[in-house]
Amino acid sequence: MRRCSDPRLRVLLLIGSLLGSGCMARAARAQDMPDTLPELPADAAAPSADGADAEPSTATDGGAEPPSVGLRLEAQLLGAVSFPSAGEPGGVATGFGITYGVGWGAIPIMIGLDFMSVGRSSTKTSRITTVDGESVLPVTRTSSDRLLDFDLWLRVQPPRWPVRPYAEGFVGAKLVETRYAISSDEDDDEATDGGDDAWTRVLGWGVGVDFMGLFSPVASFSLTLGVRRVHGSEVELKRPVLVDARGAAARRSVSTDETILMAGLCGRYDFVSEE
């Protein structure tokens, strides 16, 4: 073969051979590639439209919703001062009361039971008539009364306000227990002691307020103040006694109409459901 002596021509031939070998290599690699791409697994697919695979939403990051409150229980321990109705006999009585109530969620209605006990004593001079009606004896009567209330009440009261006013109505029964000592004013004989008790029905209404804000908006304990108006029948107590060795009838009328002022502590427990 005839050898090319022109240096420029040899350079051009070398460049052409290099280009030709590069094209052949690319063609060989193209033949080795598959015709289609393999399918991706399902969990590697694009994020769904609802953004389930995206980062958690921060829409509620500002504060979680408070838990749902179900059953509410409340109890009160109260000091009580009772005043008889205007024009009714009797005196101021003092004692205590305990109440229990139950409610549900944010419903501003509670139902409950209570027990209240107040006592008073008095001394006065009066006259009693002997059983045979022959004479009237002046006597000094010292008496003490214990009034026990057992009531069922219905109360309307907002459950979550820092200051919670309420109004209530109640019905129940009252036990009147009385103890007395009767002595004659005519001599220094020993006094005659006795006692009696009787039941009667009562009803009434009341208003009050709980100051939860004095502790915290979600306090378990709060200060409570209230007043009740009680309407009941007058109880007649009659017992035979001996005064100066003569039989006589001791009669007493005890009024159950009264106004009761109350103050104390209220405790609350909420059953919280985690949802």
| Selection from 224, 213, 66 nearest residue 155 by Cα | 224
Residue 268, classed as helix, strand or coil, is: strand
- What pLDDT does 178 receive? 83
pLDDT at 56 > cutoff 60: no
Residue spans of the domains in the chain: they are 71-273
Residue 27, classed as helix, strand or coil, is: helix
Residue found under tokens 């939860």: 212
Cβ atoms within 10 Å, residue 103? 22
- What pLDDT does 108 receive? 93
Q: Which one has a higher pLDDT value, 275 or 148? A: 148
Q: CA-to-CA distance for 110 and 107, rounded, in angstroms?
A: 8
- What pLDDT does 268 receive? 85
Q: What is the CA radius of gyration of the chain?
A: 47
Q: Which residues of 172-187 are buried (b: 16+ CB within 10 A; e: fewer)?
A: bebebbbebbbbbeee
Q: How confident is the model at residue 181 (pLDDT cuts 50, 70, 90)?
A: confident
pLDDT at 52 > cutoff 50: no
| Selection from 248, 98, 99, 256 nearest residue 173 by Cα | 256
Q: Worst-scoring range by mean pLDDT, 7-16, 20-29, 41-50, 210-219?
A: 41-50
Most confidently modeled range among 43-47, 129-133, 157-161, 191-195: 157-161
For residue 229, what are the β-bridge partners? 205, 259
Q: Are 113 and 173 in contact (CB under 8 A)?
A: no
- What pLDDT does 150 receive? 96
Domain 71-273, CATH 3.40.50.2300 — does that match? no
Model-level pTM? 0.66
Half-sphere exposure of 21 (CA within 13 A, CB side): 5
Q: Which one has a higher pLDDT value, 72 or 188? A: 72
- What pLDDT does 187 receive? 58
- What pLDDT does 51 receive? 46
Q: Which one has a higher pLDDT value, 174 or 194? A: 174
Q: Which one has a higher pLDDT value, 99 or 25? A: 99
- What pLDDT does 109 receive? 95
Q: Which one has a higher pLDDT value, 268 or 68? A: 268
How buried is residue 60: exposed, middle or buried, by Cβ count under 10 Å (0-12/13-18/19+)? exposed
At position 244, the amino acid (one-letter code) is D
Q: Are 227 and 259 in contact (CB under 8 A)?
A: yes
For residue 238, give the DSSP letter.
Answer: E
Q: How confident is the model at residue 244 (pLDDT cuts 50, 70, 90)?
A: low
